[in-house]
Structure 1
Amino acid sequence: MTASAAAEGAPQRVEAGTSEWRLVLGRLRRKRLAMISLVIISVIYGAGILAPLLAPYPPTQTNLDRPVEGPSRDHLLGTDRLGRDELSRAMYSSRTTLIVTTAVVLSGGLVIGNTLGLLAGYRGGWVDTLIMRVGDVFSSLPSLVMLILINATLGPRVIGWTRWVEGHTPFDGLVASGFPSYMLVFSALSLFFWAGTARVIRSQVLQLRERDYIMAAESLGASPRRVILQHLLPNVSFLIILSLSATLGSIAGSEIVLTWFGVGVQPPAASFGAMLFEGSGTRTFQASPHLLLVPGVIVTLLLFAFALLGDALNDAIRGR
């Protein structure tokens, strides 16, 4: 194959990738469990997005005259110990999970994991070794324990830095809005969720960089940046989506667990972890089962939906 012929063949791979995407989506639409899972995720996260419009009460509005009430006409899913509406808190909790999950996927997966995976696979040598060894270190650590330690240790410092920013800039109300805990949670999660994506992308790039069309582009003087962005990135997009879809449930679950331990998203922000903690305990469940059932059912549905959708997407990409 000549260099010019190979260079002309490169765009065809992108077009083939586009048609392959259509095949994948067609296979995915034929999987009933995948569609049901997608509907569940869309409803839960859609309620979070529209919470300011749909929630019957503000999530922090208390009513000490009506604490720990069961479902009623005024409060469809009951109230908690402070008289806060459980339905409103659940909707805003899904909003919190959506914000954290999206931030971690964009920062840890797409930006860090994807970039380092492409760089390690294409450059090779000491660059590849360094990136992969750092990734191995993070992968070998007990992520949940490390996340708890990081958040517990750095939490007060981040709040202190945020107060300093409030005092020296026009940005007021950052601490009151829960901004420090958001930043800490998705920054800590990003540290532990980039390595898997980077490893998957790297393994595919190692194979692609030996293809004729890549070598032809290099022989024609294409810069490494152009080779990566125009020839490699379009052909690993499947793996990027597959890798990220496999981690969505883990990211959402990690945020909830961190908050349950008290080192995740902090009040006044609503979180499923906080709701689960408030409803935990045998006596609490016997007296007010809705405190645990409301967040528990939603979280279970969300995590199962992510798992089923990830498996279905994996099968669709592999042609099953």
Structure 2
Amino acid sequence: MALRHKKTAAVEESINESFKNLPDDELFTFAGFDEAAAEKTGYSDYSYWRSTFQVFLKDRVAVSLLILIGIILLFAFLQPHLPGQRSATQIYNDASGMQIRNLPPNAEFWFGTNSIGQDLWSRVWSGTRTSLLIGFAVALSEAVLGILMGVLWGYIRRLDRLFTEIYNVLDNIPQTIILILFSYIMRPSVSTLIIAMCLTGWLDMARFIRNQILIIRDRDYNLASRCLGTPSRRIILRNLLPYLVSVIMLRMALAIPAAIGNEVFLTYIGLGLPVSIPSLGNLINEGRVLMTSAALRYQLFFPAIALSVVTISFYIIGNAFADASDPKNHI
């Protein structure tokens, strides 16, 4: 211990001697204030959405499927307006006036024809267009209703009991029953399916948003915002919803294939869209009847492939974007 004190004293004496040899004006100098330098110290070029897309673009599978879905969407809506395309509802006859029934795929009819002589290529693209329209409409409606109800349910304490009772009543009614009843009561159409799916489809989204809001509602920064008099609308939009972007995007992406699957199910039990409106559900239901004939199975394979590509792509893209939108994965 004595040796350590001697070494410390020697170091202090050496430092004092070095300062004594310096002029007074070199010991300390005033640092001038530089406003630009001060701004640089507090500046960050971080952008949430830029970082989200940077992380998402690193997932090559998701990006490839996103490009594929973009091409499918573009072609599905442009296909009727392209030259050389046939009508999806017209019945085609041969030179003798007979219907061109169950013609296998060839150079003239790329996907062949169905049992009444309609072009399967045009019907597959028309059915994809109809099913995607239903899927996007249902997903958007569920997101708007689910987010709105979920935020009100979780943030405003006085509404908790009311929304809980509404949820308990509607959630105990099977969605299949509602879909079947609406298909019986209303005329089968695209709007009927969308309304029937949206009646209870928002419940899961609302419950999930409510649970997440309850977790983060009383955190310190939200309590501080309320103490400072920040309006509830601003707290919800600035403090709460940005925290839930990843899960909202995931559920919206999954709602699209779920809606298409419901449409296929209703058609399977005979309560879907009429045959005059091509959809993937109608096409798969028609092809299912022909599965026993090996020569006619192409009428099931083509719409089934289209349905599989759309649903799997949205599932993978939704999961990848949800992971990318999580700030924890940002650099």
TM-based fold match above 0.5: yes
- Of residues 161, 170, 183 in structure 2, which corresponds to 1:129? 161
Q: CA separation of 1:254/1:29 partners in 2, compared to 1, >3 Å: closer, same or farther?
A: same
* Structure ranking higher in helix proportion: 1
Deviations 1:81-124 (A, max 9, x none): 12111111111111111211111112122x21010011011102
- Of residues 41, 49, 54 in structure 1, which corresponds to 2:77? 49
Residue 146 of structure 2 is aligned to residue 118 of structure 1: no
- Of residues 56, 60, 69 in structure 2, which corresponds to 1:32? 60
Report the structure number with the largest CA radius of gyration.
2
Q: CA deviation at 1:141?
A: 4.2
Higher RCO (C-alpha 8 Å, min separation 6): 1
Q: CA deviation at 1:195?
A: 1.4
One-letter code of the match for 1:122? Y
Instruction: Please identify, of 82-91 and 63-72, the stretch whose mean Cα deviation from structure 2 is larger.
Output: 63-72
Count of residues paired in the alignment = 278
Q: CA separation of 1:285/1:132 partners in 2, compared to 1, >3 Å: closer, same or farther?
A: farther
Instruction: Please identify, of 74-83 and 201-210, the stretch whose mean Cα deviation from structure 2 is larger.
Output: 201-210
* Alignment check: 8 A CA contact 1:196 1:243 kept: no
Q: CA separation of 1:147/1:189 partners in 2, compared to 1, >3 Å: closer, same or farther?
A: same
Residue ranges of structure 1 left out of the alignment (5+ in a row): 1-15, 160-179
Distance 1:147 1:289 in 2: 33
Distance 2:229 2:252 in 1: 33
One-letter code of the match for 2:117? G
SS in 1 for 2:47: helix
- Of residues 212, 235, 248 in structure 1, which corresponds to 2:243? 235
- Of residues 64, 77, 95 in structure 1, which corresponds to 2:111? 77
Q: CA separation of 1:221/1:314 partners in 2, compared to 1, >3 Å: closer, same or farther?
A: closer
Residue 183 of structure 2 is aligned to residue 152 of structure 1: yes
Q: CA deviation at 1:297?
A: 1.1
Q: CA deviation at 1:63?
A: 1.5
Residue 76 of structure 2 is aligned to residue 22 of structure 1: no
Distance 1:117 1:96 in 2: 29
Q: CA separation of 1:316/1:237 partners in 2, compared to 1, >3 Å: closer, same or farther?
A: closer
Q: Percent identity?
A: 30
SS in 1 for 2:225: helix
The residue that corresponds to 2:129 in the other structure is 95
Residue ranges of structure 2 left out of the alignment (5+ in a row): 1-43, 94-98
Residue 235 of structure 2 is aligned to residue 203 of structure 1: no
Which structure 2 residues correspond to residues 1-320 of structure 1 after superposition, within 5 A? 19-54=47-82, 56-64=85-93, 65-109=99-143, 111-125=144-158, 127-143=159-175, 145-155=176-186, 159=187, 181-281=189-289, 285-318=293-326, 319=328
* Alignment check: 8 A CA contact 1:132 1:199 kept: no
Deviations 1:156-202 (A, max 9, x none): xxx3xxxxxxxxxxxxxxxxxxxx61111011111232112112221
Deviations 1:17-37 (A, max 9, x none): x83333332222222221232
Q: CA deviation at 1:240?
A: 1.6
What's the C-alpha RMSD, in Å, of the aligned pairs?
Answer: 2.5
So what's the TM-score if we normalise by structure 2?
0.75
So what's the TM-score if we normalise by structure 1?
0.77
Instruction: Please identify, of 267-276 and 20-29, the stretch whose mean Cα deviation from structure 2 is larger.
Output: 20-29
Distance 1:46 1:261 in 2: 31
One-letter code of the match for 1:130? L
Instruction: Please identify, of 194-203 and 288-297, the stretch whose mean Cα deviation from structure 2 is larger.
Output: 194-203
Distance 1:50 1:73 in 2: 21
Distance 1:63 1:246 in 2: 38
One-letter code of the match for 1:33? V
Q: CA separation of 1:221/1:79 partners in 2, compared to 1, >3 Å: closer, same or farther?
A: same
The residue that corresponds to 1:165 in the other structure is none
* Alignment check: 8 A CA contact 2:291 2:300 kept: no
